[in-house]
A and B are shown apart, each in its own frame.
Chain A
Amino acid sequence: MKLIFAGILAGLLATTAAKAEDMVFTSWGGTTQEAQTKSWAEPFSAASGIKVLQDGPTDYGKLKAMVDAGSVNWDVVDVEMDFAIKAAKDGLLEPIDFKTVPKADLDPRFTTDHAVGSFYYSFVLAWNKGAVSSEPAGWADMFDLKKYPGKRTFYKWSAPGVIEIALLADGVPADKLYPLDLDRAFKKLDTIKSDIVWWGGGAESQQLIASGEAAFGQLWNGRVFALEKDGADVGVSWNQNLTAADVLVVPKGAKNKDAAMKFLAAASSPAGQAKFAEASGYAPINTKAKAEMPADAVKSLPDAHVDGQINLDMNYWAANRDAIAERWYAWQAK
């Protein structure tokens, strides 16, 4: 029965069949994947002759289905780092071949046995200048309904970020965040719950802030960067910015593993990382990349705001992902 099920799934999922020498790269779509295509896939194809087909968006259910069914059509996938750690533990990922992928210059914070960094980003506090009475200074202001009435926007899904913000706003010191005090975090979030508008994807967060639908919120720094580039009247506070990372993984049983490893080497190289960082505003995970970037592009990276920067604990999240998610969605649905 399981075989039949697997067979059907395999049939349904075989939408992106690649030729033997081609490979498939899957990411989240939008401006991020465009930048990845331009910075990584195109130069890689030109140099190696391996064609990189684009697919997306990343879907963890689909990834698991492919691996379970033994019919994996994705060769390299951009995933959130806490998922990558959990997925490696569940046996869904191939180990990285560090003979092909040079490891020496990769930021150890975002490199594991089963993943190399894709880019890293910060959650920052951003606001629409026309919609706030005064400029908020830090996370605590997002919980101050008297000084800042109106809607505020947070990331909708159970993921590193919002819980930490609530705890920081409640006065927990940055070095005492973990293990997360969920009771305290939800109690704090309860105080503003009816004034929260949730964003489920990057474009939505930009739309909410740019239109003033939400006066301010927790955004990915790259999305604020894009808003500023488009001339939107937004302000940003890097105070206690929270870093998290996307990583590149190879699903277990990927058909073009060798090509995938070569692609990882190109994507994580100083040149690939520098190009992507310049296009997206997200930070490179190769320590040599910044030397290859124009000075003004380096200024808008999370690296320029390490003062008071907090690293979200991906290992803690990987270990507690399911338990936190259960409480998160139960709380949201209340």
Chain B
Amino acid sequence: MSVETEQSIATKRMPAGLGGLLPALTLIGLFFVVPVLALLLRSVTDPAPGLQNYTALLGDGTYMRVFFNTFLVAAVVTIVTVLVAFPVAWMLAIMPPALASVMFGIIILSMWTNLLTRTYAWMVLLQRTGVINRALMATGIIDQPLPLINNLTGVTIGMVYIMLPFMILPLVGTLRAIDPMTLRAAALCGASPFQAFRRILLPLSLPGVAAGGLMVFVMSLGYFVTPALLGGTSNMMLAEMIAQLIQSLLNWGLGSAAAFILLIVTMALYALQLRLVGARRATGGI
């Protein structure tokens, strides 16, 4: 009986709710759905109807290498970001609130600085004649400059730096929600700090790691500025290739197809994450 009433309330509410959503839906429809459909359409009609753009992309060694590079860079960046962000997030979570908010301010402040400026700053630091190499050579630690730029190392350093806040913020939220008593209980039961970390803290923080990790991974997939400036031509990522196809080669069909593939992959990953996190929530009892 009660189920029925709930349902009827729900169905009654639906149209009203939809009405309120109408402006938002129109906005999304007009500025997101329609352009994406136009993109899809162009990818199968330009220069001629058919799937030739997709077969060209998937059958060509160069394009496949760029796809592979894109995923490689995104994966490396995500892993390094998680490793760096976790201790920082944990520290923020257990810090006295006043100090933590100062630290938060510092982290968020870095996000406000222009992306291009930050990337150029890394160029100055990382290049052969840059601050890091000069300091290392002056102290005699190395006698040849380290190749820190125009390669995967440069891209990883630059992108991890930019991605860190996106990992730290969700992770702090998750870590703060963990009841500290669980760790105390583990210690009382004789768990070593490492055991407590591995069997209590890590599993409980996984939803935050997954959420942040996926956000970082997806953002990395479409990144343009940092790889273009800190990477070499052999680390070209998809976004740079698309820009090249659109801007300089004027091959919009192929560019659209590449962009659409990127979109599909991103959506698939998002769906996967929803399922994984949802499942873990259900079984983990969070």
Contacts and interface: CB of A to CB of B under 8 A. Distances in A.
A211 B248 contact: no
A109 to B, nearest CB: 24
A60 B34 contact: no
Given A61-B250, A333-B69, 20 more contacts: A1-B41, A2-B41, A5-B38, A5-B42, A8-B38, A60-B247, A61-B247, A61-B248, A62-B247, A64-B252, A90-B250, A156-B233, A211-B127, A213-B128, A329-B236, A332-B233, A332-B234, A333-B62, A333-B236, A334-B234
Interface in A111-169: 151, 156-158
A302 to B, nearest CB: 25
A1 B248 CA distance: 25
Given A333-B62, A333-B236, A158 B250 contact: no
Interface of A: 1-2, 4-5, 8, 59-62, 64, 90, 151, 156-158, 197-198, 200, 211-213, 322, 325-326, 329-330, 332-334
B50 to A, nearest CB: 17
Interface string B223-265: 0000010001110100001001011111110000000000000
B247 to A, nearest CB: 4
B59 to A, nearest CB: 13
Contact of B250 (A60, A157, A330): A60
B126 to A, nearest CB: 11
Instruction: Identify whether the interface residues of A are mostly helix, strand, loop, or mixed.
Output: helix
Contact of A61 (B66, B127, B129, B246): B246
B248 A213 contact: no
A322 B65 CA distance: 20
Query: Which 6 residue pairs are nearest across A and B when measured between Cβ atoms?
Result: A332-B233, A5-B38, A61-B247, A330-B62, A61-B246, A333-B236
Given A5-B38, A5-B42, A333-B65, A212 B129 contact: yes
Interface residues of B, number: 29
Contacts of B228: 200
B35 interface: yes
B150 interface: yes
Which of B35, B247, B250, B252 is packed against the most chain A CB atoms within 10 Å? B250
Interface of B: 34-35, 37-38, 41-42, 61-62, 65-66, 69, 127-129, 150, 228, 232-234, 236, 241, 244, 246-252
A156 B129 CA distance: 21
A333 B66 contact: yes
B23 to A, nearest CB: 18
Contacts, number: 64
B271 to A, nearest CB: 27
Contacts of A5: 35, 38, 41-42
Contacts of B150: 197
B248 A158 contact: yes
Contacts of A329: 62, 236, 241, 244
A172 B251 CA distance: 32
B165 to A, nearest CB: 28
13 contacts: A1-B41, A4-B38, A5-B41, A61-B246, A198-B233, A213-B129, A322-B249, A325-B249, A330-B62, A332-B236, A333-B66, A334-B62, A334-B234
A137 to B, nearest CB: 25
Nearest to A62: B247
B248 A157 contact: yes
Contacts of A156: 233
Which of A8, A61, A334 is packed against the most chain B CB atoms within 10 Å? A61
Contacts of A322: 249, 251
Contacts of B69: 333
Which of B42, B65, B246 is packed against the most chain A CB atoms within 10 Å? B246
A125 B266 CA distance: 45
B247 A4 contact: no
Nearest to B61: A330
A77 to B, nearest CB: 14
A151 B127 CA distance: 12
Contacts of B65: 333-334
Contacts of A212: 129
A100 B270 CA distance: 58
B38 A1 contact: yes
Contacts of B248: 60-61, 157-158, 325
B234 A333 contact: yes
Which of A1, A61, A332, A333 is packed against the most chain B CB atoms within 10 Å? A333
Nearest to A5: B38
Contacts of A1: 37-38, 41
Contacts of B66: 333
Contacts of A8: 34-35, 38
B189 to A, nearest CB: 55
A184 B233 CA distance: 21
Which of B34, B127, B228 is packed against the most chain A CB atoms within 10 Å? B127
A4 B250 contact: no
Contacts of B42: 5
